[in-house]
Chain A
Amino acid sequence: MLQVMSKKVLIVEDNELNMKLFRDLLEAHGYETVQTREGLKALDMAREHKPDLILMDIQLPEVSGLDVTKWIKNDDALSEIPVVAVTAFAMKGDEERIRQGGCEGYMSKPITVTTFIETVRKFLG
């Protein structure tokens, strides 16, 4: 039996419940997940696990998700990994600001299951 390597998603999210929601949703759809609650650890996790996609919360306790994204995009080994922002900043202009910050995708919280999975599939096929 051929074991297909499942795609790996790194979730950077400081809220426990939201982390669980994204993890359960992704795993239910056959994705493997790695998680961190701290933006500062996200870079190390990305280097270590080489995920296929990063879901990035923007408002993190110590460092902004946008800064973390910038580090990732400046790292030659990681810059190819798509970053999708998942944020409760849903005010006018937020999406534009976040996309300019280097994120390839944007989802506003609260998410709906359908759009969440569609967005993830768009990047992971």
Chain B
Amino acid sequence: MDMDLTLSSSSPSDFLASVAPGFPEFFLLALGSLVFLGGTFRQDRPLWGWISFFGLVTALALALRPIFHSPMEGNAYHGPLVYDGLSQTLRLLTFLCGAGLVLMGWEEGDSTHIAERNGLILFATAGASLCVAANDLATLFLSLELVSIPTYLILFLTRGDKFGRESTLKYFLLSIFSSAMMLFGFSYLYGITGSLQIPEILAILSQSSLNPVPEAVPTARLVGLVMVVAGLGFKVTAVPFHFYAPDVYQGTSHFGASVLSTLPKIAGFAALARLTGLTFETNGGVFLPFESQSSYLFWILASVTMTLGNVIALWQTNLRRLFAYSGIAHAGYMLVALSVGKEVGATGALAALVVYLWAYVAMTLGVFAIFIYLDKKGKHVEKVEHLNGLAKTDPVAGGIMVVLLMSLIGLPLTAGFIGKLALVQCALRRGLESAITEAHPNSELRLFFGLSIMILVNAAIAGWYYLRMIGALYLRKGKDTHPSNRPVAALVTGFVCVVVTVAVGILPGLVTRGIGEVPWHGIKSKAGMANPMDKSPMEKPPGH
């Protein structure tokens, strides 16, 4: 088997047909190149801003009303890009996020490289959007690099002083390191299965877990998994691959931090979901590409990540550093979905992950938008106390901030609440259902009940530092009055984020179209069997 197998297994016209639904992304790439070129002639904020913004809006419209449809038949491979439910909802999120970034940066930073910066946002957005649809390892790697490389440049462009340079370099070095680990893991997967196509890899691995083949395969496959998780764990800031985040966030600007905390995470979680088989259609059959080990790996990652992120966040006074740790904690919550995975009885993990990802991106982007809105030359908004009395001096920004913080805490009617609820539901369900069907019921029950309790405890811990910020907004007295020349575009971004947060909080089904339902209803009882609506396979042989 050689590399040809991946890309030329079908005729050129089939290939084009499979790539065609990625038209919005290619459009963004072309537009980004144009903006880049144009920047050598003219650095004009409104011009490039409007072009980039409308480019993203066009891409969004094209994604909502696709011209080309990708052929979809179960797990069959039709090309490097697959447009299933996951890619559909996440590419919308990505385009929205890109548009938000362009709006946020409307008046932010210096204007010398504004064209390049907007072009880079277009590139990174297109990269993240391709990544959520990537269906083979080569495309996945390329699209991830298409996110990373523009990000390095954005980090450098947005803050050029020595702190900015330090953080850019840190991110660059560690990102390369993580890419290397990921590639190494890809090579293992390719080595075992002889394929670069993700559905085929998963299918082969799943079958080999039923019919044990050479001794080395299980171990090799796990090495591959761990390597890939390490590489992608860097993107999603999972402990212990998170170290860059606090330093880099603090060292860069609000804008740089908002790029870092959104696009790579969308890409990383989408890739993790696809590689661990959350999108794989099992039709009720047994599906275990990495046995239960992947569950346990993500269990540890999730619990350590959320706990460490939250407890260290308690000590932070710098806003971006605080949100770096907060982002780590939220990544920990989302890893729970991957831990629940697609094992017996686990339904809706993908939906829960998507809901939480929407929630996370909306909340984080909104908060950074407000920071950018408040920031001004010579008097930056860097520390928690800089937010003092905001609700009085600028009620609109304060109100937006409060809603976003409530969502970050996880109060009802916000996306943050519904996301956490979905994750807890999935974890509980996995524990209970496996208690009915599995050979080792109690350990599973304990593990996943423990995980859901850990989410709740962490939510409580996180409440402290978010509430401290709400307290600063409302109870402390601020010094300055409302300045007149704040960037309205950033405020609009924050408001749109609030709208998205509340909309997803009330109607989570809006963003989970085509990827299954979160099991909102509880489990009747141990004796009462599972709900007949569930597609969970009950015929799993004991003691696999």
Do A and B form a real pair?
Answer: no
B-side residues, CB < 8 A to A, are none
A-side residues, CB < 8 A to B, are none
